[in-house]
Amino acid sequence: MKTYTGNSTLDYIINLKEEYLEYIFTTKKGKNSYNLSYKDYYLKKVIHKSLFSKRYYLNVYKNGSSDVYLSLPLFKNESQINEILVYSNKRRSILKKYFKEEQLKKIEKQKNQLNRRKLIDLKKEEIKNKKILSVVEEFDKDNNGIIDLIEDKNEFNLLLKKHQKVVIEKGKEFNQNYTHQFIKVGNYIKQKRSNLQLIFDCIKQVQNQKELNEFVQILDVEIHSYNLFLINSLNLIVSLIEDDQITFYDIYEKFDKLNIYNSNWENEISDKLSELNKGINELNQNLRGVMYEIRDMSDRIVSSIDDLSYITEESTKMLDNRLGEIDSSIKTNNLLTLINTYQTYKINKNTKSLRG
């Protein structure tokens, strides 16, 4: 630091520091001071001439302004004012360069941070896409966009059509319109198959990993409830045409309690899912609500018709024979294996949860 002192119209002190020029002057009221940063202010030398002398002073300008911010006191010695001017300009140049380098470093750091964030986002997107692809491959192994489960024929309607005369005669015998009620069951199955596809399509567009996992679990439950409903429905027809009234009315009453013969619930869910698929990104909150509705209804169906104790080796053969009549690819034991596998999985999961 270099110091200049003197008296012009006022006593003054000028301290040349590394980052700023300190100007202190004394008035009747006391001392006043300015700290003038070299990078924010610049100086110009002004010559003040009179008849008998020449004096000098410095005008201070703020960056971006053409108005004089401050005039430093008059100097008799030109070398002193030149020293102040040279030093301040030198420090100004150094500080501006340093400031520019710091700004460049800051910009580079921001770019690197942005690139890192982009890379992280890309990785997250890649992981998410891999997990969605894994879900797609799990439920759509032939990758044709349709969930594998619903690519088979609607065996219930085919079986009903083949044996409609027997169903009509049985209805007359018991004074019931079984045909109409069975058609409602068939429509329920058809709508449930359609909703499985809609759920699958929604899942493929989900952005949130937590929701993806949650919705896949809901789809698993919905598939399980569909399988349960399908095997019960097929046995409903077969037990009627085979005169197994105990099995028939057991299933019939369970369906009645679930309001299958009168409910439009699956149709309503289908409308909601179709609407959500049009604008999945804007309606994630609504999607969550619909998914929870589906889960609750699936749980209800499962708890109502998951008792398959009526299915025996004999009834399995009987059902397979009837399915063979309509050239169905469904094998009763395969369907039962799917149902039992999921039930075992749920039991093990609940047991693990209680232990943990």
Residue 267: Cβ-neighbour burial (10 angstroms; 0-12, 13-18, 19+): middle
Bridge partners, 51 (sequence order): none
Contact criterion met (CB below 8 Å) for 211 and 128: no
CA distance 339 to 334: 9
Residue 118 pLDDT grade (very low, low, confident, very high; cuts 50, 70, 90): confident
Q: What is the pLDDT of residue 50?
A: 75
More confident residue, 111 or 279: 111
Q: Which residues contact 69 (CB under 8 A, 6 or more apart)?
A: 41, 60, 61, 62
Q: Is 330 buried (19+), middle (13-18) or exposed (0-12) by CB count in 10 A?
A: middle
Residues 186 and 161: their CA atoms lie apart, in Å, by: 11
Given a cut of 80, whether residue 355 has pLDDT beyond it is: no
Residue 67's pLDDT is 92
- Residue 223's pLDDT band (cuts 50, 70, 90): very high
With bands split at pLDDT 50, 70 and 90, how would you rate the model's confidence at 116? confident
Q: Which amino acid is at 19?
A: E
Give the domains, in start order, of the chain with CATH numbers.
1-139 (2.30.29), 142-355 (no CATH)
159: its two tokens: 């079986």
**pTM of full prediction above 0.85:** no
Average pLDDT for 154-161: 92
Q: At what angle do helices 78-139 and 209-241 cross, to 10 degrees?
A: 10
Lowest mean pLDDT among 62-71, 131-140, 309-318: 131-140
Q: Which amino acid is at 260?
A: I
Q: What pLDDT does 157 receive?
A: 93
Angle at 219 between CA 215 and CA 225, to 5 degrees: 140
Q: Tokens 């439009």 map to which residue? A: 264
Tokens representing 310 are 């009526």
User: Is the pLDDT assigned to residue 272 strictly greater than 90?
Assistant: no
Identity of residue 50? S
Mean pLDDT of the region 118-129: 70
**CB-based contacts of 45: which residues, under 8 Å, 6+ apart?**
56, 57, 58, 81, 82, 85
Mean pLDDT, range 166-185, rounded to an integer: 92
d(CA 100, CA 89): 16
* Residue that is written with structure tokens 């000028």 in the block: 14
Please, is 231 exposed, middle or buried when counting C-beta atoms within 10 Å of its C-beta (0-12, 13-18, 19+)?
buried
* pLDDT of 341 higher than 80: yes
Mean pLDDT calculated for residue range 329-346? 89
Residue with the larger pLDDT of the pair 127 and 9: 9
pLDDT in tens, 98-107: 888 888 888 8
Cα–Cα distance measured from residue 255 to residue 252, given in angstroms and rounded to the nearest whole number:
5
Judged against a pLDDT cut of 60, whether residue 203 lies above it is answered with yes
Stretch among 82-86, 99-103, 231-235 having the lowest mean pLDDT: 99-103
Instruction: Using pLDDT thresholds of 50, 70 and 90, give the confidence band for residue 317.
Output: very high
What pLDDT shows up at residue 321?
Answer: 93
Long-range contacts of 81-90 (CB under 8 A, 24+ apart): 81/45, 81/56, 81/57, 82/45, 83/2, 84/4, 84/14, 84/16, 84/21, 84/43, 84/58, 85/43, 85/45, 85/58, 87/2, 87/16, 88/16, 88/21, 88/38, 88/42, 88/43, 89/42, 89/43
Using CA atoms, how far apart are residues 232 and 248, in angstroms rounded to an integer?
9
47-59: per-residue pLDDT in tens? 888 777 788 888 9
Q: Tokens for 59?
A: 């005008």
DSSP H or E segment with residue 189: helix 178-203
- The amino acid sitting at 144 is N
Q: From CA 228, how far away is CA 305, in angstroms rounded?
A: 7
pLDDT exceeds cutoff 70 at 281: no
Instruction: Please provide the average confidence, as pLDDT, over all residues in the chain.
Output: 86
Percentage of the chain lying above the pLDDT 70 cut: 94
pLDDT band, residue 16 (cuts 50/70/90): very high
- What is the enclosing helix (H) or strand (E) of 206? none
Give the model's pLDDT for residue 280: 52
